[in-house]
Amino acid sequence: MITATDLLLIVDVQPDFMPGGALPVPEGDAVLPVINRLQERFANIVATQDWHPADHASFASQHPGKAPFDTVPLPYGPQVLWPDHCVQGTPGAALHPALKTERIQMVIRKGFHSAIDSYSAFRENDRQTVTGLNGYLRERGITRIFVTGLARGYCTDFSAEDAADLGYQVVLVEDACRGITPEATAAGTARLRAKGVALSQSSFL
């Protein structure tokens, strides 16, 4: 049963992550109707938005001789390089036009520091820089978080792991998420189970 202390977290539902986008997640657009239906059940809804400057350190274009999906060392550790995506102010960085937004109470923009990538809704990839979401949720009295969006293995899963580390009960809604690759999804699932994150389907909520 969904209660007044539950939150629906919608991660990075943006055109650049949809089929035809700059960094497409296979079947990424399939999450839209599921998330829109789920929103009707929740009193508390937060979305995240990847929001990169054009010279972001995670872009392969900023590393001569490197290609998307190569890995390079950055000051905070290994970093997968991505195609340029979700560049601030571009249509691909907007929340998807088919996503219902009228009941979303806060949008957390992440990845706007040019030198640090940010997968999680709570902490950037240096694992030190926080987004402020935890403070907001504590003030609101949230105790359980249902994670949806894109993409498994990366932003949804890092967000769920960090939420569990911060003491929230966490449920990842599998049919409201999609992954970049089966391998990334499987690795993410192993990490989530190790953190005590529950995996469920929207029909069971």
Q: Which residues are marked as active site?
A: 12, 110, 155
DSSP 56-75: -TTBGGGSTT--TT-EEEET
Whether the CB-CB separation of 48 and 122 falls below 8 Å is answered with: no
Q: In this structure, what token pair is assigned to residue 23?
A: 């960094």
Please tell me the distance from the alpha carbon of residue 14 to that of residue 146, in angstroms, as a whole number.
Answer: 19
32: closest CA among 15, 49, 13, 6?
13
DSSP 123-156: B-TTSS-B-SHHHHHHHHT--EEEEEEEEETTHH
Q: In this structure, what token pair is assigned to residue 83?
A: 């195609």
Q: In this structure, what token pair is assigned to residue 126?
A: 């240096």
